[in-house]
Amino acid sequence: MLRPVSVQLFLPLSSLVCVLSIAISACTSKPQSSSALDAVPSPNITKSSQSQTFAQTNPKSFKVETVTEGLEVPWGMEFLPDRAILVTERPGRLRIIRGGKLDPKPIAGLPTIAASGEGGLMDLALHPQFSQNKWLYLAYTIEGNGGLLQTRVSRFRLTDTGLTEKLDVFPGVPGTAAGNHFGSRLAFGQDAKLYITLGERGEPKRAQDLNNLNGKTLRLNDDGAVPKDNPYVGRSDARPEIFSYGHRNAQGIAIQPKTGAIFQTEHGPSGYDGRQGGDEVNVVEAGKNYGWPNISYDRKAPGQLPPLLLYQDAIAPAGATFYTGNVFPQWQGNFFFTNLRGRALTRVALDGIKVVGQEKLLQQQYGRLRDVKQGPDGFLYIATSDNDGYGDARSGGDRIIRLVPN
């Protein structure tokens, strides 16, 4: 049965929330583009913010520059205090870009990495006190007993000669032989805890099983110990590492500067259960259930949280960040995330955690986009991903590009 759904056009919520049935167009406002119908606000979050205003970005207000080319599936980026860019390449290399020049030699000292399917060397994170301790965290795929692929997170000290002092802070859990849905984004929260997203490895039931760490977001101390205030500590029927659950494949995580709220992007079923898309942005909280596989799209169930944002055409959301720079004052506080399949950068304006409006930038211009980070110069840096097996295998390799004000 076709049910009416509340559809947010890709424009200010204040003017363009309308109800339409899929069969009969009841909307008087015309969508401005075909992308306009793919973002559906979740109930209770967007409605209260309709008095806010949202200004679309003037495309002439910025230009795009290429920082470097010739990368192979750059997955995660971080800026070092000296402004160099560290970049992971999924096949298993850690690269560094100094003064805009990619060092041809990868950083030494990486562990054995199983680059298989969607797995390999994935995200990286700097310790909150990196300037003092030089601790760098890597999330990567290992082949464990029986050839099962799993995500491991290790801490290293970054020295002039490479990575040393490896400490496995999350050794991994028996995964599967399948090479998909690793999740594996890393972020330190404002509580100085390490958050790790783990996908459900293509076995949806795992996301609801509190004795299984797949399909979860984990919360750990910086040395891998379980914090005593985690939601399931002391329970015999759940793993203490779990922070939130019911996740399918979260490939983006970012901490909102003013609130400390943890925003995650998550790949929806994308046709797995008949409909297209179902990609999500969630604000994750301790002990909360985000529904997969019980609910997705606009379905509801008691005790399971709907997403903050839902995308009805698959966009495959990935890396995310909040903008805090000065060179784009109109973007202050906005949430940005890359789209792989959607080949775009989504900008979401927020009032606290309420969505004020959103738009897509760079749509269909730079291929699949994997990660986004703000540089120390206030520019937005984006890693492309056309050589990941899903893209168009661009001959010059993948790029890091940046948005610079005009």
Residues carrying an active site annotation? 181
Whichever of 290 and 311 has its CB closer to Ca ion, that residue is: 290
Total interface residues for Ca ion by CB under 5 A: 2
What span, in angstroms and rounded, lies between the C-alpha atoms of 253 and 195? 9
Whichever of 150 and 265 has its CB closer to Ca ion, that residue is: 265
Window contacting Ca ion (CB under 5 A); options: 181-189, 227-235, 284-292, 375-383: 284-292
Q: Is 188 in the site for Ca ion (CB under 5 A)?
A: no
Q: DSSP 3-state assignment of 74?
A: strand
Residues 138-167 binding Ca ion (CB under 5 A) are none
Please answer whether residues 312 and 287 qualify as being in contact, where contact means their C-beta atoms are separated by less than 8 angstroms.
Answer: no
Residues linked to residue 392 through DSSP beta bridges, in sequence order: none
Residue with tokens 């470097």: 68
Whichever of 290 and 381 has its CB closer to Ca ion, that residue is: 290
> CB 283: neighbour CB atoms within 10 A?
21
Residue 189 structure tokens: 């929260």
Q: Is 291 in the site for Ca ion (CB under 5 A)?
A: yes
Window contacting Ca ion (CB under 5 A); options: 120-128, 129-137, 166-174, 283-291: 283-291
Q: Is 323 in the site for Ca ion (CB under 5 A)?
A: no
What span, in angstroms and rounded, lies between the C-alpha atoms of 248 and 96? 31
The closest of 236, 237, 239 to 216, measured between CA atoms, is: 239
What span, in angstroms and rounded, lies between the C-alpha atoms of 406 and 403? 9
Among positions 290, 322, 323, 331, the unique one binding Ca ion when judged by CB under 5 A: 290
**C-beta of 298: minimal distance to Ca ion in Å?**
11
Residue nearest to Ca ion (CB): 291
Alpha carbon separation from 126 to 42, 110, 246, 261, 291 (Å, rounded): 33, 16, 27, 19, 30
**C-beta of 368: minimal distance to Ca ion in Å?**
23
**C-beta of 195: minimal distance to Ca ion in Å?**
17
Please answer whether residues 258 and 236 qualify as being in contact, where contact means their C-beta atoms are separated by less than 8 angstroms.
Answer: no
The closest of 152, 95, 90 to 368, measured between CA atoms, is: 90
Whichever of 124 and 261 has its CB closer to Ca ion, that residue is: 261
Window contacting Ca ion (CB under 5 A); options: 232-240, 249-257, 286-294, 387-395: 286-294
**C-beta of 310: minimal distance to Ca ion in Å?**
9
Whichever of 76 and 291 has its CB closer to Ca ion, that residue is: 291
Chain residues binding Ca ion by CB under 5 A are 290-291
